[in-house]
Amino acid sequence: PASHTPVAELAPEQLEAFAQEQRTAYAALREKGLKLDLTRGKPAPAQLDLAEELLALPHGHVDASGTDVRNYGGLQGLAELRAIFAELLHVEPSQLVAAGNSSLTLMHDCLVDLLLHGGVDSPRPWSQEEKITFVCPVPGYDRHFAMLEHFGIDMVTVPMREDGPDAEAVARLVADDPSVKGMWIVPTYANPAGSVTTQEVAARLASMETAAPDFKIFWDNAYAFHHLTADEAKSADILSLASAAGKPHRPLVFASTSKITYAGAGVAFLAASPENVAWHLGHLGKRSIGPDKVNHLRHAQFFGSAQGVRDHMVRHREVIAPKFAEVERVLSERLDGLGIASWTRPKGGYFVSLDVLDGTASRVVELAKDAGIALTPAGASFPYGKDPGDRNIRLAPTFPVLAEVTAAMEAVATCVLLAAAESLQR
């Protein structure tokens, strides 16, 4: 619309004209018969191509210590690859495990081991507790919530803010209730809000008193290096903070190269206190004789150094930053000032979090679907898929090519406008 007057301030006949305009625009959109997908945070083929050289690696089959990587063994992962990522994650190489291709699998393994065996500071296995509860910052990552639901773990939510989870709300939840055993957090460029947890918030989470003696922070740093601007966020150093607070076993840090090299064939990492690393390797040793060291070696050769990883991430940025800029351009041109939507302007990560008029997110997703645009289901960023405000939609612009991002976002804006008009006319 030419005029950017808040829609809620329009007189009834102006609102009807506005609504008619949106119905016409939506009908025209449907006519186009588009088929676009903004659902999952996947790297685009152009990003995967950046690591094409990996397919010709490794050169040779021995690591720096002369070990044949084709054979069994080396449970903690290849030393030279751990050295590279230990530098990037600011941990000691001895505190880092290089594992298989998925950090989500590592999170799942740690949770299962906590349930079956308890942690290094647990009085008993978690499964022997009457009830287990996790604190979930929202909006958050749907697969985190699905994992907890799968194991019958209760979820309580706290708001995710620009500086990280509402730490005072978390502190209140964990203070008196021993059933609260853990929390999720995506500290850097959070999925989906893009926020970065500050050192202050991290310090509060690391040091707060918890009724459970074995409270765990699942610190999922999936987007630690995934900057979209030159203003590169540095992740809070949760392991040092927890150590300094006398709670060294509280954080379990996860990361992976899923969005650095290949989403399906990268390397996942776990960083933790020496005791937690020994705990993990103890259980891991019962299910594996060693990881895929051939993949570790080719990653080590591909990157060469920590700087090699940083340089590689700049090449990703060049591919995807224009897509995020396009999301911002279309949304601000079409929706700014109308009082019916707000959205994030992330400096990294894979998502834009769009809040539409309360009670209209599912309608927006439905309208988009009927026009051929797949959006993440409304509510996906909340436990049990239920957004109490029905307002949040997660946009994932990395996978489509730029022209498709433009078309999809124009379509999203049309659906947001029509859903708002319908809602305000009710």
Q: Is 25 in the site for ligand PLP (CB under 6 A)?
A: no
Q: Quick one: 40 or 61, whose CB is closer to ligand PLP?
A: 40
364: closest CA among 421, 405, 403, 426? 421
- Count of chain residues binding ligand PLP (CB under 6 A): 13
Single residue of 153, 186, 228, 420 touching ligand PLP by CB under 6 A: 186
Single residue of 39, 83, 90, 102 touching ligand PLP by CB under 6 A: 102
And the tokens for 104? 């989500």
Single residue of 103, 188, 235, 295 touching ligand PLP by CB under 6 A: 103
Q: Quick one: 256 or 344, whose CB is closer to ligand PLP?
A: 256
Q: Is 104 in the site for ligand PLP (CB under 6 A)?
A: yes
Distance CA 84, CA 98 (A): 11
Q: Is 268 in the site for ligand PLP (CB under 6 A)?
A: yes
3-state secondary structure the chain: CCCCCCHHHCCHHHHHHHHHHHHHHHHHHHHCCCCEECCCCCCCHHHHHCCHHHHHCCCCCECCCCCECCCCCCCCCCHHHHHHHHHHHCCCHHHEEECCCCHHHHHHHHHHHHHHHCCCCCCCCHHHCCCCEEEEEECCCHHHHHHHHHCCCEEEEEEEECCEECHHHHHHHHHHCCCEEEEEECCCCCCCCCCCCCHHHHHHHHHCCCCCCCCEEEEECCCCCCECCCCCCCCCCHHHHHHHCCCCCCEEEEEECCCCCCCCCCCEEEECCHHHHHHHHHHHCCCCCCCCHHHHHHHHHHHCCHHHHHHHHHHHHHHHHHHHHHHHHHHHHHHCCCCCEEECCCCECCCEEEEECCCCHHHHHHHHHHCCEECCCCCCCCHHHCCCCCCEEEECCCCCCHHHHHHHHHHHHHHHHHHHHHHHHC
Stretch that binds ligand PLP, among 6-14, 101-109, 201-209, 405-413 (CB under 6 A): 101-109
CB of 381 to ligand PLP, least distance (A): 11
CB of 27 to ligand PLP, least distance (A): 35
Q: Is 220 in the site for ligand PLP (CB under 6 A)?
A: yes
Site for ligand PLP, residues 346 to 365, rule: CB under 6 A = none
Alpha-carbon Rg of the chain, whole angstroms? 23
Q: Is 410 in the site for ligand PLP (CB under 6 A)?
A: no
Site for ligand PLP, residues 125 to 144, rule: CB under 6 A = 141
Stretch that binds ligand PLP, among 49-57, 96-104, 271-279, 305-313 (CB under 6 A): 96-104
Site for ligand PLP, residues 301 to 340, rule: CB under 6 A = none
Q: Is 185 in the site for ligand PLP (CB under 6 A)?
A: no
Q: Quick one: 138 or 419, whose CB is closer to ligand PLP?
A: 138
Q: Is 261 in the site for ligand PLP (CB under 6 A)?
A: no
Stretch that binds ligand PLP, among 47-55, 97-105, 320-328, 334-342 (CB under 6 A): 97-105
Stretch that binds ligand PLP, among 102-110, 193-201, 362-370, 372-380 (CB under 6 A): 102-110
Q: Is 194 in the site for ligand PLP (CB under 6 A)?
A: no
Q: Is 41 in the site for ligand PLP (CB under 6 A)?
A: yes
Q: Quick one: 141 or 145, whose CB is closer to ligand PLP?
A: 141
Where on the chain is the footprint of ligand PLP (CB under 6 A)? Answer: 41, 102-104, 141, 186, 191, 220, 222, 256, 258, 263, 268
